[in-house]
A and B are shown apart, each in its own frame.
Chain A
């Protein structure tokens, strides 16, 4: 039992509270938003989202907001406070809006 506890804790941590890595399903959604979307660009968006935002606060799961909700937060509320450039905001939004339709779990 004692030996299994760390494994159970790690498994729980792995299942809860992670920010998803983009995959082919997300790329299909992303291409409906930006025709030149690539997996690399989505991965860069995730990296920027984690790097720019997690220094100040716990990250919100992408599914917590719809596309207009994320646009409002990133462009009007956080771009200035977190010093996110236009290009970086675009990449972050492309990632968030591509993965926020994923079913939870």
Chain B
């Protein structure tokens, strides 16, 4: 076959087998972000479900559902829009062993919207260390949140390592009669989040995630620090979707309320499931069968 014939055949093959949607970036972790972005032009739907289970005593189940639509804007920038929903069921729950008050609750609340912006600076494979910055403002009418993350990561063959330093600033508002919104409470959180996982083959990955969460009333010293860790499982590699699951158990706290754990603002166990579903048909910057055109004189010629 001539060079031209080979090039045409390659182009036809590329068009026939490669014209599907852009494969989106899979998230191997559910708590830890990697310093990478979605391909330019790709759109992905990512529902998150987090169950938070167990207080000091009684029954307590809370769930958070985040419906995320993620957009790849360039090879260094992505954005996303979230709709946040929270549900809670409590029956005689107590935050601390010495608490007199038991509470019962059964409600579901829309917790507003958030907007994510992720800027990749260094790549986790191409550069010595991957680096990205993450910003996420959120608002629900009563509360506002500003979240910033420094994302570090490294991919070494089948091993993926990632670390996030997270700073969150929350404000709760109250509407005063005739005076508009006033800040009633503000809180700061600092989190260290660490993840490591390894490929097992056939699209499966296994790993661990760990996090420390500190709440600060002022910038003097933390009110508490709680430590969580647990295993994670990921399945992907299929074109079009992936899934990740992590189970975190609270291991201890600097200011425990019961059983050596901080169970006022946190729970004993968290389970997070994330799905990623590619949305096809997003605009293509170039025709997918572009390789069919034979190289012009002076262009990078095929190597014999």
Binding site for B on A (CB under 8 A): 10, 13-14, 16-19, 33-37, 46-47, 49-52, 54-59, 67-68, 71-72, 75-86, 88-91, 93-94, 97
Contacts and interface: CB of A to CB of B under 8 A. Distances in A.
A76 B13 contact: yes
Contacts of B75: 47, 50-52, 55
A13 B162 CA distance: 13
Given A17-B156, A54-B126, A79-B18, A84 B286 contact: yes
Interface string B113-137: 0000000000111111100000000
B290 A54 contact: no
Nearest to A75: B291
A97 B42 CA distance: 28
Q: State the majority secondary structure of interface residues on A.
A: helix
B303 A67 contact: yes
Interface stretch (B33-41, B56-64, B224-232, B252-260): B33-41
Contact of A83 (B10, B288, B299): B288
B299 A85 contact: no
Interface residues of B, number: 53
Contacts, number: 145
A56 B291 contact: no
A34 B301 contact: yes
A98 to B, nearest CB: 10
Nearest to A58: B155
A80 B289 contact: yes
Contacts of A18: 125-128
Interface of B: 10-11, 13-15, 17-20, 22-26, 36-42, 72, 74-76, 123-129, 154-157, 160, 284-291, 293, 295, 298-303
A56 B239 CA distance: 11
Contact of B303 (A37, A68, A78): A68
A63 to B, nearest CB: 14
B299 A81 contact: no
Given A83-B39, A83-B286, A55 B291 contact: no
21 contacts: A17-B157, A18-B127, A33-B303, A34-B298, A47-B75, A51-B40, A52-B40, A52-B75, A55-B24, A57-B23, A58-B124, A58-B125, A67-B303, A76-B10, A77-B17, A77-B18, A79-B18, A81-B20, A83-B41, A90-B300, A97-B303
Given A10-B128, A90-B295, A80 B15 contact: yes
A17 B126 CA distance: 7
Contacts of B124: 54, 58
A77 B285 CA distance: 17
Contacts of B125: 17-19, 50, 54, 58-59
Question: Looking at B22, B72, B157, which has the most chain A CB atoms within 10 Å of its CB?
Answer: B22
